[in-house]
Amino acid sequence: MRSVRASSQSLNEARQRLHPRRVAAVFRDTWVLRLLMLLFVYPNSTLGSEITSIGCADGSREGLHGFSAVAACYGRWDGHVSNASALCAPGWRVCTHLDMELLRNITWSHAHAVKGCMAFNAAQDGDRCRECQEDLEQDDMAGVGQGCAHQYKDHTSCISGGRIDASCCVDSHFHKACHFKPGLISGVVCCRLPVKSPRIVVKPPRRFRVYHNLIFLLSCKASGMPPPRVRWYKNGRRLGKGDSRISVLFSGDLLITLSRASDSGLYTCEATNEHGMDIANSYVSVAENKAGCADGTRGGPLMHRSVQACPGVWKGHVRNAKSLCAKGWKVCSHRDRKTIRDISSVELFQLSGCYAYNAASRRNSCRRCKSSKMAGVGTACGWVNYRHSSCLSYGRIDVFAPNMTSSCDYTEGLTTGVLCCKKAKRKGGERRKCRPRCQHKGKCIGHNRCRCLHGYKGSRCQIAICAPDCGVKGRCIKPNKCRCHPGYTGKTCRQKARPCVSPCVNGGKCHHGICRCPAKFWGKACQYPLQHVLLAQMNRTEK
C-alpha cells in the first residue's frame, strides 16, 4: 500500500510539475521548450490549430480564459505596443481601439481576475478610447489585470465597468509612451482578427506569351483571414515538387525557369482557407526564340528576346556592324533605350566580352554615338560606373577606358561584337497610304488615317465643323459657316426668311422683307440708279 501511495503521490507531483502554467512560467523565454510542452499536453491535436485557438504565440493563455476572441498573453516587446503582435498567435493581433466590440465584453471582474498587467494599443486619457500615441493627450496606455498601477472603477474606458491603465501621465515627454516597462507590464491583450474568405488581389495575366529557355513569373497574391493557402494547377493537375524548374514562392507567385514548349497550357491559381476559395486562370504559350545574329546563333543576354549579343568584326563606325545582325534585326542605338533598359543588371555585368552599340553617354543622357564614348555591355569593356546614368537601367558601361583614345569604331582586341535589337513592326502596313487622300490640308499619319486641321473632321477630313450646328435647314460648308435652304436665313439657318413685296433687281438681296441694294442703286426693289450713275450713262449716250 505504501508503494502504491508513494507512486500515486509521485505521479500527482509530476502532473503538477508538468502543468502548462508552471512549465510556461519556468520556460517562458525558451521557444523550443514551449513547443515541447504543447506537444506533451496536447498529443492528439494539431499544434497550429491549438495555438490559433488559444490566441498566444507560445500556446499559453495568462487570462481571459472564457473569451474566444480575446486572450491575455505573457511577453515583452521593443518600441511601441503595436510591435507586440509577435506575442499573438497567427490570425491574432494586439487589441486596439478599433476592437471596441470585443473589449466591451470584458467587465471589471474579468479584467481584475487577470494576474499581472496586460497592455493593449489604446489610450484612455479623458475616459475615452483612442489609439495610443506619443502625445500628452493620448499616452495613458490601456490594460487589464490586477497588477496594473492605475485602476479606476466605474470610469469610462475601452472595457466595461471601469478604467485600467498600464502606464500613464507624462510618458510621452520622455518618448516612452505606449512602450514596454519591465516590472510594470507583463504582456499584451490579443484580439482575433475578423474572418474573411480568400480573395486574389493580384491576378496573373489572362494570356501570357514567353519565349523558349527564358524565365517567367506568374503573380498570384491573395488576402483573407486566416491567411489563405495558395496552390497552382496546370491543365487541372496540381504542380508539385517533381520538376526542379517549377517552384511556388512564399509570396504565392509561380516561377518557371528554362521554359519549354511543354510548359504551354492553362495555369490556375487557387487560394483557399476554411471560409472559402478564389481562383484565377492564365493561359501560357511558349514560342521559339528566333536567332538575332547573322550566323544563326542566339547570343546573350539570354533573358531578353529582343536584344542579343552577336560576335564579329566590322569596319568603321558601329552602325556598319548591321551585317552581324540577322534579318529583321539592327544595331541597337539610343532610340532603343526602352528595350535596352529591360536588360537586368545581372546580365549587364556578367556577360563575357564587350559588345558595342550605337550610343554614347554624355552628361548622364543617352545619345547617338558621333565620335567618342561608345557604349557597350559586358565584363571586358574598358570603363564601368555604377552611379552614372546612361542608356542602361543601372550604371554606365563604355567600350573605351578613360585613358584610351575613344571613338565609335571597331577596335581589335577590345570589341567582341555588337548588340543587336529586334526591329519593331510598323503599325498600319508597310507604308503610310491614305486613299482617297486627306482633304482640307489634312495629314496622313497611318494606313488610311488622317490628322485633320482645326475645324474639320471625318476619315478624310471632308466634314466641316460649325458650332453651333446648322440644324436641318442648312449645311456646313466651311468652319462655322452655314449655307441655308431656300426660305431660311440666319447664322444657323433657324430663322424663316420674310419675302420682299417686289423682287429685288440690279443685284439687290432680300433680307427680312427689305431689299439691300448695291452701292450704285436705290429704291424698294433697287430699281433706281444713283444720280451720278445716271449722268454717266447719259454722257456715254451723247458720245
Considering 256, 287, 318, which residue would you say is the last residue of a domain? 287
| Residues 455 and 524 occupy one common structural domain | no
CATH number at residue 486: 2.10.25.10
pLDDT in tens, 191-246: 998 888 999 999 999 999 888 878 899 999 999 877 899 999 999 999 977 788 99
| Residues 91 and 174 occupy one common structural domain | yes
Asked whether 356 and 325 are in contact (CB, 8 A), the reply is: no
pLDDT in tens, 451-488: 999 999 998 999 999 998 998 989 999 999 999 888 88
Asked whether 396 and 388 are in contact (CB, 8 A), the reply is: yes
| Residues 471 and 482 occupy one common structural domain | yes
Q: Read off the C-alpha cell for 513.
A: 422683307
| Residues 343 and 395 occupy one common structural domain | yes
| Residues 277 and 215 occupy one common structural domain | yes
| Residues 130 and 141 occupy one common structural domain | yes
Asked whether 231 and 253 are in contact (CB, 8 A), the reply is: no
pLDDT at position 258 over 60? yes
Q: Considering its fold, how many domains does the chain have in total?
A: 5
Report CA torsion sign: 229, 232, 237, 241. Answer: negative
Integer Cα distance of 451 and 443 in angstroms:
5
Strand partners of residue 218: 254
Predicted structure pTM score:
0.41
* DSSP sequence for 99-132: GHHHHTT--HHHHHTSSS-EEEEEE-GGG--B--
pLDDT in tens, 338-377: 888 888 777 777 788 999 999 998 777 889 998 888 999 9
Distances (CA, A) of 473 to 463, 465, 466, 481, 497: 17, 16, 14, 13, 12
pLDDT at 2: 40
How many CB atoms within 10 Å of residue 258? 12
Q: Read off the C-alpha cell for 218.
A: 506568374
pLDDT at 5: 42
Q: Read off the C-alpha cell for 210.
A: 514567353
Q: Read off the C-alpha cell for 125.
A: 486619457
pLDDT at position 29 over 50? no
Residue 46 lies in a domain: no
pLDDT at position 140 over 80? yes
Q: Read off the C-alpha cell for 333.
A: 542605338
Integer Cα distance of 455 and 327 in angstroms:
45
pLDDT at position 34 over 80? no
Considering 161, 192, 223, which residue would you say is the last residue of a domain? 192
3-state SS class at 67: coil
Determine the structural domain holding residue 462 and report its residue range: 445-495
Average pLDDT over residues 421-449: 80
Integer Cα distance of 217 and 255 in angstroms:
5
Angle (CA) 198 199 204, round 5° = 125
Residue 376 lies in a domain: yes
pLDDT at position 86 over 80? yes
Residues 6+ apart with CB under 8 A from 229: 271, 272, 273
- Considering only CA atoms, which of 74, 84, 194, 63 is closest in space to residue 141? 84
Instruction: Identify the residue whose cell numbers are 568584326.
Output: 313
How is the chain split among helix, strand and coil, in percent rounded to 5? 20, 30, 50
> Dmax of the chain from CA atoms?
170
| Residues 204 and 231 occupy one common structural domain | yes
| Residues 472 and 451 occupy one common structural domain | yes
Distances (CA, A) of 231 to 91, 223, 260, 294, 513: 20, 14, 21, 44, 86
Is residue 41 left, alpha or beta, with left meaning phi > 0 and alpha meaning psi from -120 to 50?
alpha
Considering 132, 158, 192, which residue would you say is the last residue of a domain? 192
pLDDT in tens, 518-541: 988 888 889 888 876 666 666 655
pLDDT at position 321 over 80? yes
| Residues 81 and 180 occupy one common structural domain | yes
* Average confidence score pLDDT of the chain: 83
Instruction: Identify the residue whose cell numbers are 497574391.
Output: 221
| Residues 317 and 389 occupy one common structural domain | yes
